[in-house]
Amino acid sequence: MTIIESSDLPAANGHYSQCIVFNKVLYVSGQLPVDPISKTVPATIEAQTDLVLSKVDTILTSVGVSRNEVIQARIYLDDIALWDRVNERYKVFFGDHKPVRCIVPVKTLHYGCLIEVEITAQAEK
């Protein structure tokens, strides 16, 4: 097992790793849409979705994994009514690639965020 930390993102705020590679699979911890520089959360679900997917992309890139190697996405939403708007941004991010996906409605997310995304990807071919 290899613990991976991206210098492009702030260190984990708790007792967890940003991502781990185990048996050629990359596991990315849930990413929140908190801007790593300003420490602010964008106001709209579209901006939050774009930011959280950008953070995921930074982690993937740091270990040489592309979006097309994502196996599964788990998306936590604090309001399922936001799903259509999230799905539109998700489609832009992944293009023709369609990883398996689970949408988990939750009551609240940390820092008042509307979305959190967790990713599993193929780490080595």
| CATH number of domain containing 89 | 3.30.1330.40
Quick: pLDDT tens for 20-36.
Answer: 999 999 999 999 999 98
pLDDT at residue 125, rounded to an integer: 58
Please state whether 11 falls in left (phi above 0), alpha (psi between -120 and 50) or beta.
Answer: beta
pLDDT of 76 > 90? The answer is yes
Q: What is the pTM of this model?
A: 0.93
DSSP the chain: -EEE--TTSPPPSSSS-SEEEETTEEEEEEE----TTT----SSHHHHHHHHHHHHHHHHHHTT--GGGEEEEEEEES-GGGHHHHHHHHHHHHTT---EEEEEE-S--GGG-SEEEEEEEE---
Q: Which domain holds residue 60?
A: 2-122
Number of domains in the chain: 1
Quick: pLDDT tens for 3-17.
Answer: 887 676 667 778 888
pLDDT at residue 9, rounded to an integer: 65
